[in-house]
Amino acid sequence: MKRTQRLLVLATLTVAAGCYHYVPAVSTASPQGTPVRVSLDTLSAFELSQITVNNIQRVEGEVVRVDASELILSASWLVAITENGYPGNGWTVHIPESNVTAFEQRKLSWWRTGVVVAGAVVGTWLGFDALGIGPSFGGGGSGTGNTQ
């Protein structure tokens, strides 16, 4: 039974990890390591390792720093105008602040997290109930009771 409880907690935490959303930020001056999404005014090209990705309209990643009106990100995902996505693999990209139309920070949504956790708990409970796993309530008995 303890193993089942541990699996339930692990499954719930795993599902809850995806409960993030982006909210508009006041400025691009965010602390280093802040997860962000940047929308670009002009389609841009970025060199990642040995390939160049073109027509990029949105970049997701973590803030490295802001230098001389240039936003420097460790890219995790780049999205082209065709909605094709490219993994950034942590490569550093330089974006002029004048090319930024939207700057959003990634935040945990307590509402989404609560809904997902409640759904996971109910779904897991129903699944265990359907499979007959867990304690049995009611009926049964050993039949050794005293009958007069």
In the chain, the number of structural domains is 2
In 3D space, the residue among 4, 72, 1, 61 whose CA is nearest the CA of residue 37 turns out to be 61
**Which single residue is written with the structure tokens 């990705």?**
53
Q: Please name the residues in contact with 81: beta carbons below 8 A apart, sequence gap of 6 or more.
A: 43, 55, 56, 57
> Same domain, yes or no, for 73 and 116?
no
pLDDT per position as a tens digit, 4-48? 667 666 666 665 556 777 888 877 777 888 899 999 999 999 988
CATH number of the CATH domain containing 41: 2.30.30
pLDDT number for residue 138: 53
Q: Could you tell me if 37 and 104 are in contact, meaning their C-beta atoms sit under 8 angstroms apart?
A: yes
pLDDT score, position 143: 53
Q: Which has the minimum average pLDDT: 23-27, 53-57, 88-92?
A: 23-27
Q: Which domain holds residue 99?
A: 22-106
Q: Which of 45-54, 62-71, 87-96, 113-122 shows the lowest per-residue confidence on average (mean pLDDT)?
A: 113-122
Would 102 be classed as within a structural domain? Answer: yes
